[in-house]
Structure 1
Amino acid sequence: MLHLIAWAAPGTLLFRTWAEGVACLEVFAAAFPDLDALLVMPDHVHIKGDWPKAEVRLARAETAFARRRFAMRGKEGPRGAFARHPEPTRIVNKDHERRTRRYIYLNPVRDEIVECPLAWPLSTYRDRLGLAAFPLVPKANDPERLHRYVSTDADSQLGGTPFPQLRARESSIDDVIDAVSAITRVGPEALTRGGRARTLAVETAWMAGIRDTGLLAKVFQLSPRAVRTAVSELPDSVYDPVPAAVEACLRVLGDPRFERLDAGGLLRRADWAKLRHLR
């Protein structure tokens, strides 16, 4: 088992928008199949897993993301994205493996970007806890136990944070958009286009008690008939079995740790103030 780190070129950020950050996550996940943990930070990437020729895979992922980012920026700005990366760290035993996984997941907390690892979307942590619509890694056998272990780390002075619970609650359309955007890692604009994310938004709204077919059709830009089709096989109660992605969205409704992935530059955000010196 290896722990690899890829650092951004000195003085630069790997991404300035959520779309670029998600692209980085997707590129590295594709380059490292069967990975154990992956986290994209503003200026570096952590990868944990076991592969032959891991450094070759890393170099290819770095090149692939640099090209994709260059295209996303309209072929403007630097073509390169990464500096030379350090030698991989070999993980020697189960305890080292658990501590490394926790260290990776807590990076955004230690860097004071978020207060809970669940609040960072560019990580497989949500996936491990069953809180991702299109998971990059399998769900843990006991998600609540894993979250308790990660979120009670003494070194980061994080005294434990709650695991999202499934319960009936009054929710708004804005709550639904926040939850579905966070769980799918797409911007709100994607919820008005065809695809699984829009269907998931309609299903989540319906299960959250928003059962005005005309309103859902207007908000998510589809026909009332399409709304009725999308919700036709859903149960009446949030406590009845629902698809895993719907359950994940219902769990995080109204949870401020699960924000929508808005378009626009992240450096405008107050919690990114310490990164504004980077370009």
Structure 2
Amino acid sequence: MASSILPPEGETLATGWEPDLAPADSLIRQAVLVHASWAVDAARRAGKPWYESDTWAGGILGERGALTNWVVPKQPVDPAGIVAEVARELPGDAPYLFVSAWPAGDLRGSGLALAGHPPLMLRLPQITTTPPATDLAVRQVTDADGLADAERVLVEGYPLPELQPFRAGAVYVPSFLDGSAVWVGYDGDVPLATATAHSAAGLTVVENVAVMPAARGRGAGAAVTWAATTAYPDQPAVLIASDDGQPVYQRLGYLRVERWTVWVRP
């Protein structure tokens, strides 16, 4: 009986991670590929170091702050081998996040430190959710001043101590808006919340969600996340959640799908 389910001898069996396989083969594949695009897009547009192959993608936007630099495996291959390739292909002294959809083993011997196993969360466009209310004015960024406002909130509200005191241009440069959309929530002229959306492989990835202390409890995080989530209304949206953010995202219709693994090169 068992032989009746076996494929013909010599038939190629897809694993879901072949380079030429359609992104839409699975939602997890799409989630991996949109994060890989996020890892390289801003650096490529800014003329900063970046690299992409069939097995991984990575970009270096800045010399400080791992959150500005991402490395994302695109296939379930040896993580230590990818780290070694990163050292050859990208500036060796820059910090970065190593964000993997697969367990990565112990990468301490490769000079990385374990940041955790945060959940990948997914929201399907068919889900009906009441848009969150806030007393802030949420506006999409269209110019350098707005981009600087978004970056300030990210650096000071997230926070990113390694990028303080704040200087514009460490995370966002004008070309960033050519590949991603950014929103800021304002109280008058004061920027208090931000979120970013990036589209690739048929998915929207929501990133860089941050809220200043003065806006917490005012629905600010939910409002900017909603704006980013619905930037491409016909697409599913994904994000990697923090512990504090999970309840907010669940109220917006996001579901926990699986845990990913994040290492940091300090």
Q: Tell me the TM-score normalized by structure 2.
A: 0.29
Q: Which has the higher contact order (CA 8 A, sep 6+)?
A: 2
More strand by share: 2
Q: Tell me the TM-score normalized by structure 1.
A: 0.28
More helix by share: 1
